[in-house]
Amino acid sequence: MRNTFSAPPGQVRNELASWISLDRPSIDVAPGGKEVAQVKITVPPAASRGERYGVVWAESVAEPDTTNPVRVINRVGIRVYLDIGNGGDPPSDFQIENLTPKRGTDGSPEVAALVRNTGERTLDMSGTLSLSDGPSGLQTGPFPADLGVTLLPGAAAPVIVTLDPQVPAGPWKARLTLMSGMVKRAVTATITFPVTGTGPPVTPDQDYLPMAGLIAGLVVLPATALGFMVRRRRRSASPEG
């Protein structure tokens, strides 16, 4: 959701989460008791400047049995805000400027995404394209993007996704997700494949991709340790972003 601090489901790890370690993977907590787990953030010397966001979770899992057939997971966590100042590698970023439906040399439908490197590091692009809301409600994909597109800072180039030759012309709602390292962007657009050649480029809608976590706030400084208290019978703690 926009303008909120929310974590994706499951245990998704971002760049910040990969820098976080815990002094123990699980804790036994007596009823009404409390324990402290030490959390350490080790920032690599080459880390680029800028803010990072994440969450450290404490999780208690009740496995299903004959009496209670539903697996229950209780989670509480603390936010992690990490700001890296001057130094380290320059930041990476890119924009997907438009999507162009076209036909390949063999007649297969293709989507060419014009990607511009707006950061300060060279990017190696990868990603997938999915189609939905097609003729008669069809949906298909994901189809992988062709690999091998490398963008210098400030450069722009098309990233091509080739689809199955049997995919109808459309119209379709296309969702393209591209990434380079930890940088990930997604866009959506309505496209129709031409009979031959290349169709007009379409300006896509930018989809919001949450960068990090959830729950009560806590500011964390680089390369420091912090503690958090957990209650309930048993929890396993893990970083996430």
CA atoms within a 13 Å half-sphere pointing along the CA-CB vector of 115: 32
**Shared-domain flag, residues 49 and 82:** yes
Residue 62 lies in a domain: yes
Domain extent, residue 50, equals 15-89+212-240
Residue 15 identity: E
3-state class of 123 per DSSP? strand
Other CB atoms within a 10 A radius of the CB of residue 25 amount to 9
Query: Omega before 142 cis (within 30°)?
Result: yes
Return the closest-CA partner of residue 104 out of 135, 146, 138, 155.
146
What's the CA gap between 112 and 21, in Å, rounded? 41
Cα–Cα distance between 223 and 220 in angstroms, integer? 9
- Count of domains for the chain: 2
Identity of the amino acid at 89: D
**Residue in the block written with tokens 């496209």:** 191
Domain match, 142 and 69 both: no
Say whether both 184 and 234 belong to one domain: no
pTM score: 0.60
pLDDT score, position 122 = 84
203 and 103 in a common domain: yes
Assigned domain for 3 exists: no
Question: 172: burial class by Cβ within 10 Å (0-12, 13-18, 19+)?
Answer: buried
Question: Scanning the structure block, which residue is given the tokens 């990607």?
Answer: 115
**CATH number where 144 lies:** 2.60.40.10
- Whether 193 and 106 share a structural domain: yes
Question: Does residue 114 fall inside a structural domain?
Answer: yes
Same domain for 161 and 233?
no
pLDDT at 101: 96
**Which residue do the tokens 């957990």 mark?**
230
pLDDT of residue 4: 60
How far, in Å, CA of 27 to CA of 127, rounded? 38
- Helices and strands, number each (H, E), in the chain: 1, 17
Residue 15's SS3 state is helix
Identify the pLDDT of residue 228: 38
169 found inside a domain: yes
Per the listing, tokens 């999780």 go with: 59
Clarify whether residues 201 and 107 are in a common domain.
Answer: yes
Same domain, 27 and 98: no
Give pLDDT tens digits along the chain (241 positions): 444 667 776 677 888 888 999 888 888 888 888 888 899 999 998 888 777 888 888 878 788 888 888 888 777 888 887 878 776 777 889 999 999 999 999 999 999 999 999 998 888 899 999 999 999 999 999 999 998 888 888 999 999 999 999 999 989 999 999 999 889 999 999 999 999 999 999 999 987 554 433 333 333 333 333 333 333 344 455 566 6
One domain for residues 100 and 202:
yes
pLDDT given at position 33: 87
